Every structure is written in C-alpha cells, then in structure tokens.
Amino acid sequence: MIIVIMDKIKNIIFDLGGVILTLDRNEAVRRFLQVGLEHAEELLDPYHQKGVFLDLEEGRLTKEEFYEEIRKLAGKYISNEDIDYGWLGFVKDTPAYKLEMLEELRKSYNLYLLSNTNPVIMSWALSPQFSEKGKTLDQYFDKMYLSYKIGVTKPNPKIYEYLMLDSGIIPSETLFVDDGIANIEAGRALGMRVFQPKNGEDFRYIFTEKGH
C-alpha cells in the first residue's frame, strides 16, 4: 500500500476518467460498433484518443462538427443521440464515495480537475444526472481545466503549464492524481507530487492520517 505524504500539500489536481469516474472502454467500443462505427476499436483509447475523437478533445471540432465527422466515417447517418450513447459507454460508474471524498478534501485543500475530455461527456457531467445528489461535476472543484477548452491534451506540458499559470499554484505544494502513466510522468517532471491509481480503485487510503 502506497501512502502519499501530504505534508506541505495545498492543492490536489484530479483526473476525471479512471480516477473519479470508473471507465469501461470496451462498453464504449461495443456501443459505437452497435450504432455503426466500424473503426471504433482503433479510434478509442483509455488514455489518449485518436483521429476525430482527439480533434474533439482538443477543441478542433465542435460537438456538431464531430457528429458530422462520425457520420462520414460510418458512411451512413447516425443520430446525435446514438453518438452520445456511444461516448457515454465510457462511464461505467460514478462512485458516490469518491464524490464524498472530494467534498471532505475540499475543506482542507484547493481542488482542481484536469481532464482530457469533450463536450459530449461534459454535457452529462454538468447536468444533475451526474450524481445521486443532483450535484454537477463543477460543484466539487474550485476550478476545472478541460482539454477541449484549452486546446491541448495531457501529457502535453502546455496543459499543465496553463493550469499552473491560471491557478497560481506551486508544483511542490501540489498532488496530481491520474491513472495514465504518461500523464503522471509529465506532472512529476514539472515538480508535482503524483499518485497513479488503477481504474476504479478506491484510493482514499492515500489520505489517511499516516499520509498527513
């Protein structure tokens, strides 16, 4: 068991998928194949997307342009709702205990979200359907930094630098929690303390008294 030493930590940056949300890439692939996107297996990645999916996550395509590109790839009409259905297949679960963890941590730390994400997922995450309590994702963080709004995805150092400049945080006073090894290494290279949980892991133990 790894205990993260929280001494002198003032800020915690969380990834979304695989950290707060439990991901299921296979279900997303299954759904996209089901609605008619034959290349879903090649295009969908647990950590970093490719092709039009990456273009959406880096803000080069709007949601509407993305829908059109998916229809072109499929060679047939797929409804916006079916495309959303495919994307949301990634979300296996939003554990209530993790949201409660965020609420508790926010009493002692500045909390930030740094996510490679897209407007389809965020339309859901910013709705009352996100949590059992009807709270939206942004209500759990001091500020959210989203790849499609910033125009770059992790592990590109530019997205970390944007967050640090905008928030004014000091890397040595910051813990970065992400399930992707390349993302973790980029955070470490910038001087942050890091922790890499497994997808769906209950990692509350890193914040135990021994870690303070």
Q: What is the CATH number of the domain that holds 36?
A: 1.10.150.240
**Residue 66 belongs to domain spanning:** 25-90
Query: Mean of the per-residue pLDDT values for the chain?
Result: 93
Q: Encoding tokens for residue 123? A: 């339309």
Number of independent structural domains in the chain:
2
pLDDT at 212 over 50: no
Inside any domain, residue 4: no
pLDDT at 67 over 80: yes
86 plus 98 within the same structural domain:
no
* Active-site pick, 15, 24, 178, 179: 15
Helix (H) or strand (E) holding 162: helix 157-167
Inside any domain, residue 1: no
pLDDT at 4 over 80: no
pLDDT at 110 over 90: yes
Q: What is the DSSP letter of 44?
A: -
Q: Which among 39, 69, 90 is the end of a domain?
A: 90
User: Rounded to two decimals, what is the model's pTM?
Assistant: 0.93
57 plus 161 within the same structural domain:
no
- Is 15 known to be catalytic? yes
Query: What pLDDT, in 10s, does the model give residues 112-127?
Result: 999 999 999 999 999 9
In which region does residue 188 sit, left (phi positive, over 0), alpha (psi from -120 to 50) or beta (all else)?
Answer: alpha
Inside any domain, residue 6: no
57 plus 99 within the same structural domain:
no
CATH number of the domain within which 125 lies: 3.40.50.1000
Res 50: pLDDT: 81
